[in-house]
Chain A
Amino acid sequence: MDMPLPDQRIITGRDGLIARLRGVLPADAVIADPAETRAYECDALSAYRCAPLAVVLPRSTAEVSAVLRLCSQMGVKVVPRGAGTSLAGGSFPTADCVVLGVARMNGVIETDYDNRFIRVQTGRTNLAVTGAVEADGWFYAPDPSSQLACAIAGNIAMNSGGAHCLKYGVTTNNLLGVTIVLMSGEVVEIGGPWADAPGLDLLGVICGSEGQLGVVTEAYLRILPKPEGARPVLMGFSSNEVAGECVADIIRAGLLPVAIEFMDRPCIRACEDFAKAGYPDCEALLIVEVEGSPAEIDAQLALIKDIAMRHSPVAYRESGSEEESRKIWLGRKSAFGAMGNIADYMCLDGTIPVSELPYVLRRIAEMSAAVGLSVANVFHAGDGNMHPLILYNANKPGDLELCEALGADILKLCVEVGGCLTGEHGVGVEKRDLMTVQFNPADLEAQLRVKDVFDPAWLLNPAKVFPLDVTASRRAS
């Protein structure tokens, strides 16, 4: 992967930079020992590594502001980092940058059930947000697979989704306000525990901006009362097409399951070998989950069963207990682990119109066969957000490049059928150079202009999101 040449002037001045960082932060908040910065050389896109100049772990918005002000004055690039779980390399460092991690800022500032919000520091993990309100019967809806580890800062940066966003929306739909520190060090409060912006919707463009616009240190999040219960049903079909039709029929019927998850045969087989969840041997499998009181769940599942039966499922298994629900989800939730057990894998994240599902799955199978790398598909079918997993062997020369080329072709296919490169993981460094497939120069220029406003010197999270040649003149000036 191409990265810009590091700024030798900054690298040469490393010692001075670290001394000045120590001047504005407590001693334990600046990590400069290469042995200790090693943990920050990559995020979950672990195929690429680069040591930063230093890592800072501030404990407050004021400290974040001090770091950014200093780096801004010195012309030093800053890579913001939540928990480092980005699959897209969203917090991949450069050799001439300071990594700014918010992990130590993980407190709850305010919980207000009457007004249905929680205000947290953004280093808090996604699951710990729900954890703070769960005992009182509330939850935070967006639930990325990495929710045990991933931080709200990263969720906001990537506008993260999850299996249950079919009903509850993604981060942007559940974010009410932020405290953001601009690269200049200026602290700006945007939004709050009320609806809508009085002027331009800055919150809307900050959410999902991948650390390009500022460092979000605190956030007001919408919390919701927990549903009374939830129950999944598992159904197997004889082809991807039939499973795809069943999904469309469920949606058309006006049912709103909280999740519709899809797995194809390679994925089912791998998960079964790994997790022994007792999945049926079939071409395609759906897990549909509904919520409500026991009676509501029964009524919804009855309708879903009617629809499913019209598509002659080869298996139909309704959960009747907590244990059965757990087993139904077990395979799906261990999908990535199962793949990791077989091989190295690359997880894609393109979204397609739901109607294109059968065609896209067929094309992926053809492309996979042509290249000779296996692809397993597991995805959020209700909203068309696919997660093809390309299996490769990192120790085999040329395999990673082959895998990346196939990945790029699959993402181009997603765009070609009316979809997009990324539904919830973000562009990061991984898909940066594919942006021109989805956007023409004018579309990209409009996005760059927003970046110009928030970070005029282009110091924040460098070499991400936008193709390098598109940003070259801005980065140089």
Chain B
Amino acid sequence: MKGAFDTPLRPQTEAEVAEMVCLADGPLSLRGGGTRGVAYGAGQVLETAGLSGITLYEPGALTLVAGAGTPLAEVQAVLAAQRQRLAFEPPDLRAVLGRQGVSTLSGVVATNASGPRRVQAGAARDHLIGVRFVDGMGTVVKSGGRVMKNVTGLDLVKLMAGSHGTLGVITQVAFKLQAVPECAVTLQTDAPLGAGLALLRRALGSPFEVSGAAYGPFGAALRVEGMEASVRYRVAALKALLGGDWVESAGDALWLGVRDGHGLGEGALWRVSCKPTAAEGVVAALAGVPHQAVFDWGGGLIWIAVQGLADAGAGLIRGAVAGVGHATLLRGAGAAHFAPEAAGVAALSRALRAKFDPKGILNAGIMG
């Protein structure tokens, strides 16, 4: 399909997406609102924003189905009116990535975007129960549905989550939802890094259902959510378990900052997933290099900003995380954005992409 590259394609229906992909005579650069993509392929821009609108919302069944281009904020507002939410707390990366625009559900799904509550409630992929997409040949495919338990056929829903637009153009998504709890309390204490991370792991190993466990310039922080009486009980139990002085506060400001990667410096920005006990070692590998780190998921996620290295710190970070996790470069140049995969995994992923996008036109090449 001919068209100036600076005029994005904005299909309004799934059928239009299929037609555009079918007729594409070159690569397509897919995006939702362009607010969170780790990378976008070269080529004609295709945005999902026209595929907007909630098609089904059943608060009593905790399910929502919406067009892939529906703004995240719109969904959040509709859910909030019924005191419900997306439990996985998708981050807003506009500030740290210097992006404008409106975050859409397709971007949330394509990047499997999850925030602090992932440690308790799971990732975006765990809440995604259905998806429709157009593959690289222009064929419409559906997987999953609108029910919470579904093992009918291969789970392409999970495969689409986090595929960064390399397997298809997502056109519709279905999520399971969570009720907003009555009350949330944040606990904070000062502790050196190693001891602070140990406190987080200890809290996560308790039966007191922590829904946030972060360490940063604010010290060690825990979040407890639920019915008020239960929160009061668990806060007291956690304090007794962990010892030391903990400051209690209400409100979500600290968690929004952790969610969105705030408080880090300039330079290359990394999100590192690792075995929680390995977190301290990963950051220690950067000794002598200017950097800042904020830890989430009890140490299972590290945001790292690195300054002054030509490879963005990839050698040090990916070296330290080898065998205990993986690192994604969100912002900066000098290294591959996505972690290189072991040969067997890479071969399977390559073969899957070739099956879903044989022409190699969907955000081609961005994931390796």
Partner of B159, one of A200, A212, A440, A442: A200
Scan B325-337; emit 1 where CB is below 8 A from any A CB, else 0: 1111000000000
Tell me if B148 counts as interface (CB < 8 A to partner A): yes
Contact yes or no, B276 A114, CB < 8 A: yes
Tell me if A425 counts as interface (CB < 8 A to partner B): yes
- How many Å from the CB of A130 to the closest CB on chain B? 15
Scan A448-459; emit 1 where CB is below 8 A from any B CB, else 0: 011111100000
Partner of A204, one of B142, B158, B341: B158
Q: How far is the CA of A165 from the CA of B230 in the complex (A)?
A: 21
Contact yes or no, B277 A423, CB < 8 A: no
Scan A323-366; emit 1 where CB is below 8 A from any B CB, else 0: 00000000000000000000000000001111100000000000
Contact yes or no, B344 A186, CB < 8 A: yes
Contacts of B147 in A (CB 8 A): 351-353, 383-384, 418-420, 423
Q: How far is the CA of A254 from the CA of B84 in the complex (A)?
A: 8
Q: Which B residues, 286 to 309, have Cβ-Cβ distances below 8 Å to chain A?
A: 297, 300-301
Contact yes or no, A299 B230, CB < 8 A: yes
Contacts of B153 in A (CB 8 A): 427, 435, 438-439, 443-444, 447, 465
| Chain B residue at minimal CB-CB distance from A431 | B152
Contact yes or no, A205 B140, CB < 8 A: no
Contacts of B230 in A (CB 8 A): 292-293, 295-296, 299-300
Tell me if A69 counts as interface (CB < 8 A to partner B): no
Q: Which B residues, 50 to 94, have Cβ-Cβ distances below 8 Å to chain A?
A: 58-63, 83
Tell me if A217 counts as interface (CB < 8 A to partner B): no
Contact yes or no, A172 B155, CB < 8 A: yes
| Chain A residue at minimal CB-CB distance from B351 | A453
Partner of A159, one of B151, B273, B301, B355: B151
If A199-B345, A446-B356 touch, does A295 touch B233 (CB 8 Å cutoff)?
A: yes
| Chain A residue at minimal CB-CB distance from B153 | A447
Tell me if A433 counts as interface (CB < 8 A to partner B): no
Q: How far is the CA of A172 from the CA of B159 in the complex (A)?
A: 12
In this complex, the interface size class of chain A, counting residues with CB under 8 Å from chain B, is 35 or more
- How many Å from the CB of A198 to the closest CB on chain B? 4
Contacts of A465 in B (CB 8 A): 153-154
| Chain A residue at minimal CB-CB distance from B237 | A293
Contact yes or no, A299 B150, CB < 8 A: no
Tell me if A371 counts as interface (CB < 8 A to partner B): no
Scan A169-200; emit 1 where CB is below 8 A from any B CB, else 0: 11011000000000000111110111111111
If A201-B158, A209-B154, A446-B141 touch, does A116 touch B205 (CB 8 Å cutoff)?
A: yes
Query: What are some 13 contacts across the A-B interface (CB < 8 A)?
Result: A194-B274, A195-B301, A199-B341, A200-B162, A202-B348, A251-B60, A355-B58, A420-B150, A425-B151, A431-B152, A438-B145, A438-B152, A443-B153
Of all A-B residue pairs in the complex, the 4 with the closest CB atoms, nearest first, are: A204-B158, A254-B179, A423-B149, A198-B326
Given contacts A299-B227, A418-B147, A445-B139, 8 further A-B contacts (CB under 8 A): A172-B155, A186-B344, A198-B338, A202-B159, A351-B150, A353-B147, A380-B149, A449-B352
